[in-house]
Amino acid sequence: RCDSAYLFQEGNTFRAYGHVLILSKGLRIVGDSLHYEGDLGTGRIFGKNVELRDTVQNYTLWSDILDYDTRANSVRFSTWGRMRSEKNEIESLCGEYLANQSLSILSGEVRFQGEELRSYSDTLEYNSNAGMLYLWGNIRMYRMEQVGLSNKGWYNLNSKESELRGNVAFRDKGEHFFANTLFIDGEKRTLEATG
């Protein structure tokens, strides 16, 4: 839906302007203008606040430009983006959301904010169904009174288990640990360091 549109039947493309609304496979995308390639099933939507809402996963994404693929049911952004679910919010410079897999892949100054966890990294992969975060590059993780630094790691939002790898520095209430690998069980409050 839109206020006005130009349809190019030869190339099976169209351009839409004003109050653009796209509904596709549980995704609702709103923006100011759109260029769509019908043969490829791809489009680019522009606006001051482009908003994608995944009504199945209860997930919302904001950016100023979104590239989307109706066949893969996915979107990408390359200038900035902010994603929010019921309990978590993620911001980054670049990213991709694969709705069918409930998977977000983000890079460039990634910030994750959850109920108990806050993290910063160069790259982050988030599977919302499994509640799993995978992080790479200049990782800083904060959970309650714990701080962890490393090169890569993962965090399970459901079990509160995590692992940090590569040049690990970790602080828990004044206790400091340095290791190659550190496994943390947040529920049992145990640590296992190696190297």
At 123-149, the pLDDT tens digits run: 999 998 888 999 999 999 998 888 999
Query: Beta strand pairing status for 161-172 and 146-156?
Result: antiparallel
The total number of residues written for the chain in this structure: 195
pLDDT value, residue 31: 94
- Residue 11, pLDDT > 90, answer no
Of 146, 154, 151, 144, the closest CA to residue 180 belongs to 151
Single-letter amino acid, residue 107 = S
Q: Kindly state the average pLDDT of the residues 167-179.
A: 90
How far are the Cα atoms of 37, 89, 120, 192 from residue 84, in angstroms, in the given order?
A: 28, 4, 16, 32
Cα 102 to the center of its chain, rounded Å: 10
Query: 188: Cβ–Cβ under 8 A, 6 or more apart, which residues?
Result: none
The pTM of the full predicted model, rounded to 2 decimals, is: 0.87
Beta bridge partners of 126: 104, 133
pLDDT for 10 equals 86
At 98, give phi and psi (nearest 5°).
-105, 95
Tell me: the pLDDT tens digits for 49-63? 899 998 887 889 999
Q: Note the pLDDT of residue 108.
A: 93
Residue 23 structure tokens: 């509904």
Average pLDDT value over all residues in the chain: 91
Q: What is the pLDDT of residues 150-169, one digit of tens each?
A: 999 999 999 999 999 999 99
In whole angstroms, give the CA distance from residue 41 to residue 54: 18
pLDDT at 65 over 90: yes
pLDDT score of 73: 86
Tell me phi and psi for residue 30, to 5 degrees.
-125, 135
